[in-house]
Amino acid sequence: MASTVVTDQVTLTVNGQSVTVPKGTLILDAAKKIGIDIPIFCSHPKMAPVAVCRMCLVEVEKMPKLQPACAVYVADGMVVRTTTEQVQKYQKGVLEFLLINHPLDCPICDKGGECPLQDQTYQYGPGASRFDFEKAHFDKAVPLSDKIVLDRERCILCWRCTRFSEEISGERELALIQRGVHTIIGTFNDEPAQSNYQGNWTEICPVGALTSREYRFISRPWDLDRTASICPGCSMGCNIQVDARHNRIGRFQSRENLAVDDGWLCDFGRYSFPTFQRQGFEAPRVRQDGKLVEVSFEEAIAAAADGLAQARGAVAGWASPAATNEELFLFQRLFRQRLQSPHIDHRAFRPTWPDPDPDDMTLPIADLERCDYVVVLGGQEVIDAAPVLHLRLFKSERRGVKVLKIDAEQGARAREWVPADAQAVGILATVSHKKEATDLQAALGKKVKGSVRRLLVVRGPNGRGANDLGILPNFRPGYEGLNGQSGKGRAEWGKGGIGAAYIFEASPLHAFEATEDERRWLSGLKTLVMHRFRASPLDDLAHVIIPGRAFTEKAGTVTNMEGRVQRIGRAIDADAVPDDWMVLQAIARKLGAPWDYHESSDITADLLDLIPQYAAVDRGERVLWSERT
Amino acid sequence: MSIREVLEGPLYIVRALATTFKHNARPRVTIEYPERQKVVPPRHRGRHILHRYADGLEKCVGCELCAIACPVGCIVVEAAENTPERRVSPGERYAKRYEINLLRCIYCGMCEEACPYDAITMGPRYDLADDHPDKFIAVKEDLLEPLQASLGDTARPSAAPSAQAEPRKW
Ligand code: SF4
Ligand code: SF4
Ligand code: SF4
Ligand code: SF4
């Protein structure tokens, strides 16, 4: 009988089906592997088991009592049954207890229709309640913060939210207060919650106790049109699902991508959607005799093309790092080929910027967990630039990765802190501290045995794509130099020699943000074309205003900070406004370009011809520039 | 034509007239519509009514269960939140927009059956003819019963959202 081979695998049977899983697997996960569903409320794949809801009780042979499948590890030869009469009786019992004080709020509850408690009551619960007395009442619609509404009656005390704030975000903001039937969820002293990750609570809460204020009573889940997209908040590139109703954005939900967001979103990104909500359709405007006059799109495009052509060779072009790769690809072609003006940029104003290079993204986000030392150069500044990074760093720390958060100037401290025998070192910094990051990388490269890699957080959901596609005065797409034909960067535009400017402000979150000096020289231009989604402070200086589309109204690809090319989807119809790439094409055609694209996917195809590395988009992978050499 | 047929002719006329006069004396089954309206049975499924509680608050909470139950999809509901300044229904939520396309409606009564608050019922009205399709979109104001009509109906379902009641503090 005794097997002499020691393996890490154990074999057990669940409902008569045999399954082999690694040691240390929970019964719940082993059953899931063969498609057996065990109902749960408190268990969550990313949190340690607590077994408080008792919903997952199963029968395990040779154990006297039912066992919680979410907290018992498998053992060789274990025999588990999940559908016996006793299990069913307990499931009914647990649900009946949960429903004793759970209000019959489903019709007014935002979770109704996608609520695990509803679903499991249907599937496993009793049809009726035997509880004839008045339910316990707690406070309803408690504002937990300006983002979250808490309904204490609906809470089933699964602890998921409190465990999130302890194990996932590490902020320990939520706690269980009181005991027994009096237990409630709350913050310390009832102060408003401050976390930047509160939206995640609403997604993990298995009932409608925690709901988003922005989404309150907007829709029922079955009304929503769901479109897979990417968060427009920052260069992290978290995967989202845009839920829209009646052609209005209702909410952004997480669409788990373990390599990028690990299933979480930050509140900055999640609740940024009102910025992209269309307020109406405005007409393009052209300045005539000093006044802006409404015109048709054709006239505005003709006026823009005219004005830009007159300044041929001396046109400055700024594209937002929130524009899609397809738009940026056309943008740089328009400037380099049609306007003979390589003066393009996508960056914020700064006297000098370090040149980007493909090595800025040699450290994939998910690999942070596999480093032994991570230096966050800039500390909170890096987290603010890409908030979900904090969750990844905290997870890594819990797994034993040493993380040092220091100011960007304190590189010397990091040099001492990382020991020479480190196997894998990661450096995180924002792009404005690239120099400090590369210096540290070089120094550590000499000191430690293992690898030292860096990841720079860029600005905007497609800041990386803007670098890759050469929205820079001195690089062609693919980081190829321009052999002395470099144009002027944003910092030099004000110094003269620029006759017209085209500002493509695709997202209000990543706008041009002109400095006082810039406003001064912009106001002296003969032609300023503003192509933007929302009214911009530069509108009053513009000669031509072309309304554009929101992030949620177009399709295309964006590249996140680690070089992962991901698709955004068109969730909202805005057919009255030409797509941003169509405007760029129309202007280029006026200037003699033979372009004839009909879909943004046609542009993607051309883009792949130019930069074959971008074929990674079809595999959901990162662009590996090393393939170039 | 035979002589017999010629002689029988007037007889037929008399018999026919007799039928006519007989019916003249019988009770009438038609009514003088539209001056007079037919009384429909209590469960008649005519145009919908949105009901109110005795205090005038609307019963509908904008849950959209009627909309999802409707087999032809002719109901649109959009909900909003009650505020202390503007309280429309007893709970947290009310229907900001409630529309039924009466041309699409097949008067099946599924909406009535789905409603957890008895907020919508099929009413007695059947004379729905009009001269433009747009006029068949019944909006909330058309469907809501007038304020005084509900007075006297004091029963509020026990499942009504409990925000109304002072929450018991433990
Ligand atoms: S608020 Fe939701 S997530 Fe938190 S304990 Fe209650 S039911 Fe669980
Ligand atoms: S970290 Fe960035 S991409 Fe992710 S949710 Fe936040 S803003 Fe959006
Ligand atoms: S009566 Fe039937 S068809 Fe008409 S609105 Fe109600 S559910 Fe829909
Ligand atoms: S009428 Fe009834 S079912 Fe329809 S939205 Fe109102 S409360 Fe819900």
Residue A200 has pLDDT above 50, yes or no: yes
Kindly state the percentage of chain A with pLDDT values over 90.
Answer: 91
User: What pLDDT is stored for residue A52 in this prediction?
Assistant: 95
H/E segment holding residue A437: helix A434-447
Of the candidates B78, B116, B162, the beta carbon closest to that of A107 is on: B116
Q: Do residues A346 and A491 share a domain?
A: yes
Which tokens in the block code for residue B24? 């003249």
Contacts across the A-B interface (CB distance below 8 Å): 54
Q: Do residues A321 and A381 share a domain?
A: no
Q: Do residues A397 and A542 share a domain?
A: no
Kindly state the percentage of chain B with pLDDT values over 70.
Answer: 86
* Residue B133 resides in a domain: yes
User: What pLDDT is stored for residue B36 in this prediction?
Assistant: 87
Nearest CA, atom 4, ligand 2: A238
Cα A52–chain centre separation: 31
Closest CA to A304 of A597, A513, A586: A586
CA distances from A200 to A40, A262, B6 (A): 18, 12, 98
Instruction: Write the pLDDT tens digit of every residue in A61-107.
Output: 999 999 999 999 999 999 999 999 999 999 999 999 999 999 989 99
The CA R_g of chain A, rounded to the nearest whole Å, is 28
User: What pLDDT is stored for residue B157 in this prediction?
Assistant: 42
| A545 DSSP assignment | E
User: What pLDDT is stored for residue A309 in this prediction?
Assistant: 96
- CATH number, domain with residue A65: 3.10.20.740
Instruction: Read off the pLDDT of each residue in B1-28 and give the average, rounded to a whole number.
Output: 89
User: What pLDDT is stored for residue A5 in this prediction?
Assistant: 59
Q: Do residues A607 and A511 share a domain?
A: yes
Euclidean distance between CA atoms A455 and B59, whole angstroms = 57
Q: Do residues A328 and A305 share a domain?
A: yes
Which chain A residue shows the shortest CA-CA distance from B79?
Answer: A217
| A395 DSSP assignment | H
Closest CA to A323 of A554, A601, A573, A109: A554
* Residue B159 resides in a domain: no
* Residue A621 resides in a domain: yes
Mean of per-residue pLDDT scores for chain A: 94
Contact A211, A114 (CB under 8 A): no
H/E segment holding residue A248: strand A248-254
User: What pLDDT is stored for residue B156 in this prediction?
Assistant: 43
- CATH number, domain with residue B58: 3.30.70.3270
* Residue A89 resides in a domain: no
Q: Do residues A387 and A405 share a domain?
A: yes
Residue B165 has pLDDT above 60, yes or no: no
Residue A252 has pLDDT above 80, yes or no: yes
User: What pLDDT is stored for residue A4 in this prediction?
Assistant: 54
The answer to whether the Cβ–Cβ distance between A137 and B80 falls below 8 Å is no
- CATH number, domain with residue A346: 3.40.50.740
Atom of ligand 1 nearest to the CA of A204: 3
H/E segment holding residue B144: none
Range of the domain at A31: 9-83
User: What pLDDT is stored for residue B163 in this prediction?
Assistant: 38
* Residue A1 resides in a domain: no
Distance to chain B for A53, nearest Cα, Å: 22
User: What pLDDT is stored for residue A626 in this prediction?
Assistant: 63
Q: Residue type for A157, please?
A: L
Query: Residue A479, exposed/middle/buried by CB under 10 A (0-12, 13-18, 19+)?
Result: middle
* Residue B134 resides in a domain: yes
Q: Do residues A562 and A590 share a domain?
A: yes
User: What pLDDT is stored for residue B166 in this prediction?
Assistant: 41
Q: Do residues A338 and A271 share a domain?
A: no
Strands A527-532 vs A544-547: parallel, antiparallel or unpaired: parallel
- CATH number, domain with residue A235: 3.30.70.20
Euclidean distance between CA atoms A266 and A227, whole angstroms = 19
* Residue A121 resides in a domain: no
Cis peptide before B34 (omega within 30 of 0): yes
Instruction: Write the pLDDT tens digit of every residue in A324-382.
Output: 999 999 999 999 999 999 999 999 999 889 999 888 999 999 999 999 999 999 999 99
* pTM, 2 dp: 0.90
Mapping DSSP onto H, E and C, the string for A59-70 reads EECCCCCCEECC
Which tokens in the block code for residue A203? 């997604």
Euclidean distance between CA atoms A500 and A308, whole angstroms = 6
- Tell which of A419, A442, A457 closes a domain: A457
Which tokens in the block code for residue A289? 């005799």
Convert B90-99 to b/e letters by CB count within 10 Å (16 or more is b).
bbbbbbeebb
ipTM of this complex prediction, to 2 decimal places: 0.86
* Residue A108 resides in a domain: no
H/E segment holding residue A447: helix A434-447
Interface of B with A (CB under 8 A): 61-65, 68, 78-81, 91-93, 116-117, 159, 161-163, 165, 167-168, 170
CB contacts, 8 Å: A139 with chain B: 167
Instruction: Write the pLDDT tens digit of every residue in B82-105.
Output: 999 999 999 899 999 999 999 999
Nearest CA, atom 6, ligand 1: A155
User: What pLDDT is stored for residue A236 in this prediction?
Assistant: 96
Please spell the DSSP secondary structure of A45-88, one letter per residue.
TTS-----S-TTEEEETT-SS-EETTT-B--TT-EEESSSHHHH
Residue B170 has pLDDT above 80, yes or no: no
The answer to whether the Cβ–Cβ distance between B63 and A220 falls below 8 Å is yes
Q: In what order do the strands lie in the sheet with A225-230?
A: A225-230, A239-245, A248-254
CA distances from A338 to A26, A325, A332, A543 (A): 62, 19, 9, 20
* Residue B6 resides in a domain: no
Domains held by chain B: number = 1
The answer to whether the Cβ–Cβ distance between B68 and A216 falls below 8 Å is no
* Residue A104 resides in a domain: no
Kindly state the percentage of chain B with pLDDT values over 90.
Answer: 64
Nearest CA, atom 5, ligand 3: B105
All residues at 6 or more sequence positions from A408 whose CB lies less than 8 Å from its CB, including other chains: A377, A378, A381, A429, A433, A436
Q: Do residues A540 and A619 share a domain?
A: yes
Mean of per-residue pLDDT scores for chain B: 86
Instruction: Write the pLDDT tens digit of every residue in A122-162.
Output: 999 998 889 989 999 999 999 999 999 999 999 999 999 99
- Read off the pLDDT band of A56 (50, 70, 90): very high
Euclidean distance between CA atoms A216 and A197, whole angstroms = 18
Range of the domain at B80: 48-150
Cα B39–chain centre separation: 13
Instruction: Write the pLDDT tens digit of every residue in B75-84.
Output: 999 999 999 9
* Residue B70 resides in a domain: yes
- Tell which of A400, A424, A457 closes a domain: A457
CA distances from A398 to A58, A169, A340, A365, A426 (A): 30, 11, 53, 16, 16
Mapping DSSP onto H, E and C, the string for B27-41 reads CCCCCCCCCCCCCCC
- Tell which of A457, A490, A511 closes a domain: A457
Among A155-169, A440-454, A612-626, B50-64, the range scoring the smallest mean pLDDT is A612-626
Separation of B115 CA from ligand 4 center, angstroms?
Answer: 5
- CATH number, domain with residue A443: 3.40.1010
* Residue A69 resides in a domain: yes
* Residue B87 resides in a domain: yes
Of the candidates A106, A136, A217, the beta carbon closest to that of B62 is on: A217
Q: Do residues A296 and A321 share a domain?
A: yes
Convert A9-35 to b/e letters by CB count within 10 Å (16 or more is b).
ebebbbeeeebebeeebbbbbbbbeee
Domains held by chain A: number = 4
CB contacts, 8 Å: B162 with chain A: 103, 135, 137, 140, 153
Residue A628 has pLDDT above 80, yes or no: no
Contact A281, A577 (CB under 8 A): yes
User: What pLDDT is stored for residue A180 in this prediction?
Assistant: 87
Q: Do residues A346 and A368 share a domain?
A: no
User: What pLDDT is stored for residue B161 in this prediction?
Assistant: 39
Which tokens in the block code for residue A569? 């989807």
Instruction: Read off the pLDDT of each residue in B59-85 and give the average, rounded to a whole number.
Output: 96
* Residue B111 resides in a domain: yes
Query: Residue A87, exposed/middle/buried by CB under 10 A (0-12, 13-18, 19+)?
Result: buried
Distance to chain A for B58, nearest Cα, Å: 14
User: What pLDDT is stored for residue B34 in this prediction?
Assistant: 85
* Residue A263 resides in a domain: yes
Among A152-166, A245-259, A469-483, A576-590, the range scoring the smallest mean pLDDT is A469-483
User: What part of A 258-297 touches B (C-beta under 8 Å)?
Assistant: none
CA distances from A34 to A14, A19, A43, A75, A216 (A): 9, 7, 18, 17, 38
Instruction: Read off the pLDDT of each residue in A105-117 and give the average, rounded to a whole number.
Output: 95
